[in-house]
Amino acid sequence: MAEKITSRETDYSQWYIDLVRSAKLADYSDIRGCMVIRPNGYAIWEKMQAALDRMFKETGHVNAYFPLFIPESYIQKEADHIEGFAPECAVVTHGGGEELAEKLYVRPTSETVIWASYKKWIQSYRDLPLLINQWANVVRWEMRTRLFLRTAEFLWQEGHTAHASPEEAQEEVLRMINVYKTFAEEYMALPVIMGRKTESEKFAGADETWCIEAMMQDKKALQAGTSHNLGQNFAKAFDCQFQTKEGTLEYVWATSWGVSTRLIGALIMAHSDDKGLVLPPKLASRQVVIVPILRGDKQAVVEKAHTICEELKKSGIHAFVDDSEQNSPGWKFAEYELQGIPVRLEIGPRDISNNICIAARRDTGEKQKLTLDGTLATSILSMLETMQQSMFKRALDFRESNTFEVASYDEFKSLIDNGFIVAHWDGTEETEAKIKEETKATIRVLPETPDFIAHYSINEPGVCIYSGKPSKRKVVFAKSY
RNA sequence: CGGGGUGUGGCUCAGCUGGUAGAGUGCUGCGUUCGGGACGCAGAGGUCGUGGGUUCGAGUCCCGCCACCCCGACCA
C-alpha cells in the first residue's frame, strides 16, 4: 500500500495531515476551509458526544436547538461580542432570490440568538436557573484552517445558562470546566491544566474565561475547552431581567461553555504514532479486531473467531472479525493499527490447537498469549482498562518532562520551543503583549488545578521574568495552535 | 490579506527545447497465497482546473480567472 505516513520527526504537521487522511478520519472538501468528517472520524465524535451528553444531563442540563441564522441586529447588541466575532462571520444577504431587509449571520456562536429567547422565558427567580445545552454546527471564517483543529465550519456543543446570582453563575462556570477536565482525563486520556485565561485571551463578551489546556506531542499547547462567566453582559444587551424573591428587578447572570470537534484533533496529536491513530479504549467504537489466520482448516478458524467475538460482545466489548480473504493478515494488522483499534486478536490453527490466541495492544505494540477459556473477556477488559490508564500516564509524563520553570527571560527564550514554561508574570497586558510579539508564546492559562499549583508553587510571589516587577503568581506560557 | 506552491485516471505523481496520454497504487474478474502492508494473468478507467491567445498542431508557450494546500498576521 502506498499510503505512507510521514514520520513525526520528519514533519509533525505533515504527519498529522497524513494520519487524518489515511486513517480516513476526515477529508478535504472543495469548500474553502471546510472538511468532510468521514465515518471513522465521526464515530469518535459520537463517542465523545455520548459521554459528554450524559455528563451534562447528570449536572442538570437539558438539550435544545436554536436557529442557525442570527439577525445582524442581535450580533450588534453586545459591543465586545460584535468586535470579536463580526470579522470572521459568514453573512447571508439574499434569500428566495430577494435581497434581505436585514442581513443574517451564520452563527459563530449562539449567545445572541439564545439570549433573545431567554429574555422571553425569564421573568422570575422561579424561572432560574435555566440550564440548556445545544449540539450544533457553527461557522467562523478563519484565515487559516487545519483539519479538526480549525475549520471554517465545525461541530460543537454550547451550554448557555442563566442564574439568579453571580455566585451561582460562577459555580456553574467551574462545574462545567471541571466536567471538561474529567472528560479529557478519563475518556481522552489527556491530562489538562485547568485555570483562567488572561484578559486579552478571554472570550469576546465574557467577564472571565476558564479553560483546559493540553500539551500535544510537538510540545505546543491546545485549548481543549472553555467555560465563560458572562456576568450580566448579555442580560443587559438583551434586557433580560427577573424579579427576585424580594420583588426587586435584576439582570440575569450568565455562563456559556463549549467543546468542539477540535477535541478529535487533540486526541490524535496527543497519542498517535507513526503507524497511525492510537485511540483510548473508551473512545473507540471498535475496541477489538479479531484477525483469523486463514490457513489449514479455514472454516474452523473462522468459526472460532466468530465464537470468540460473540463471547466478547456479551461482556460489552465492541469486537469484530475481519475474515475477508482479499487481504493478508499483515495487511490487516497494518490497516487496523492505522485506524487505532485498541486491541488486535490473532487466531490461527496453531493457536486453536494450543487453546490460545495472541492479543496485541495498539499503544505499546506488546503481544501476549491469552487462554481461550471463560477468562478471555475478563483479560481483554482489563487490558483495555490498563491501556486507558497507561495512555494517560504516558501523556502526563510527557507533559511533566516538557514543562519548565524559569526565572529569567533568557531562560524563557531558550526553552519556549521545548514545551510549557511556568514563570512569574507581572499581571499586565503590556508585558503579555511584548512577550507574545517577541517570542510568539502566549499565556495559556493561570492554573487553578490544585495538584498543578502545588507541584510548581504557582501561588508563591516573585518577580516578573520580563519586567522585573513584583508578581503574585506564576502562569503557564506556551506556543499554541 | 501578504508570501510560496499545486491543479493530468479514484489517489499520489511523471510527462524535457510543443507532435495527439503514461507510471505506481487503488478498482473489477479468475487463480495461487495468508503468523507484519503477498503474487500471477486478464480488464475497466482521463473533454490534462477554467476562459482566451500564439501555432499546421498546446498537458507543454503567453495572458486572465477560479480553486485548493503550505508558511505568516487572527482564532475553539
- Span A206-247, pLDDT tens digits: 999 999 999 999 999 999 999 999 999 999 999 999 999 999
Q: Looking at per-residue confidence, does A439 or A255 come out higher?
A: A255
Q: Which pLDDT does position A2 carry in this prediction?
A: 38
Separation of alpha carbons A440 and A433, rounded Å: 9
Strand B: list positions under 7 Å from protein Cβ: 1, 11-12, 24-26, 33-38, 67-76
- Integer distance in angstroms from CA A256 to C1' B39? 60
Closest nt by CA–C1' to A350: B35
- Integer distance in angstroms from CA A168 to C1' B12? 57
Query: Which residues, 6+ apart, have CB-to-CB distance to A57 below 8 Å?
Result: none
- Integer distance in angstroms from CA A379 to C1' B12? 42
- Compute the mean pLDDT over every residue in chain A, rounded to the nearest whole number: 93
Percent of chain A with pLDDT over 90: 79
Residue A426 has pLDDT above 60, yes or no: yes
Q: Which DSSP helix (H) or strand (E) runs through A412?
A: helix A409-415
Looking at this protein, which amino acid is placed at residue A246? Answer: E
Query: What is the value of ipTM here, to two decimals?
Result: 0.85
Confidence label for A364 from pLDDT (cuts 50, 70 and 90): very high
Cβ atoms within 10 Å, residue A19: 24
Q: Which pLDDT does position A88 carry in this prediction?
A: 83
Closest nt by CA–C1' to A276: B37
Least confident of A31-35, A73-77, A357-361: A31-35
| Mean pLDDT score, A252-280 | 95
DSSP output for A13-43 = HHHHHHHHHHTTSEEE-SSTT-EEE-HHHHH
DSSP state of A476: E
Percent of chain A with pLDDT over 70: 99
Q: Which DSSP helix (H) or strand (E) runs through A181?
A: helix A166-182
Closest nt by CA–C1' to A1: B37
Residues A89-125 have pLDDT tens digits of: 888 888 887 889 999 999 999 999 999 999 999 999 9
Among residues A111, A100, A98, A93, which one has the least CA distance to residue A161? A111
- Integer distance in angstroms from CA A214 to C1' B32? 52
- Integer distance in angstroms from CA A143 to C1' B18? 40
Separation of alpha carbons A27 and A30, rounded Å: 10
Residues A394-424 have pLDDT tens digits of: 999 999 999 999 999 999 999 998 999 999 9
Separation of alpha carbons A225 and A184, rounded Å: 9
Confidence label for A3 from pLDDT (cuts 50, 70 and 90): low
Residues A64-78 have pLDDT tens digits of: 999 999 999 998 898
DSSP state of A328: -
Nearest residue: Cα versus C1' of B38: A328
- Record the cell numbers describing residue A78, joined without a space: 453586545
Give the burial class of A240: count Cβ atoms within 10 A of its Cβ; 0-12 exposed, 13-18 middle, 19 or more buried. Answer: buried
- Record the cell numbers describing residue A157, joined without a space: 456543543
The size of chain A, in residues, is: 481
Phi-psi region of A92 (alpha: psi -120 to 50; beta: other; left: phi over 0): beta
Q: Which pLDDT does position A14 carry in this prediction?
A: 80
Q: Which pLDDT does position A126 carry in this prediction?
A: 98
Q: Which pLDDT does position A284 carry in this prediction?
A: 97
A56, A62, A68, A71 alpha-carbon torsion, rounded to 10°: -110
Closest nt by CA–C1' to A332: B37
Q: Which pLDDT does position A1 carry in this prediction?
A: 36
Separation of alpha carbons A442 and A222, rounded Å: 12
Least confident of A40-44, A289-293, A436-440: A436-440
**Is-contact A67 A113, C-beta < 8 A?**
yes
- Integer distance in angstroms from CA A29 to C1' B41? 38
Residues A143-170 have pLDDT tens digits of: 778 889 888 889 999 999 999 999 999 9
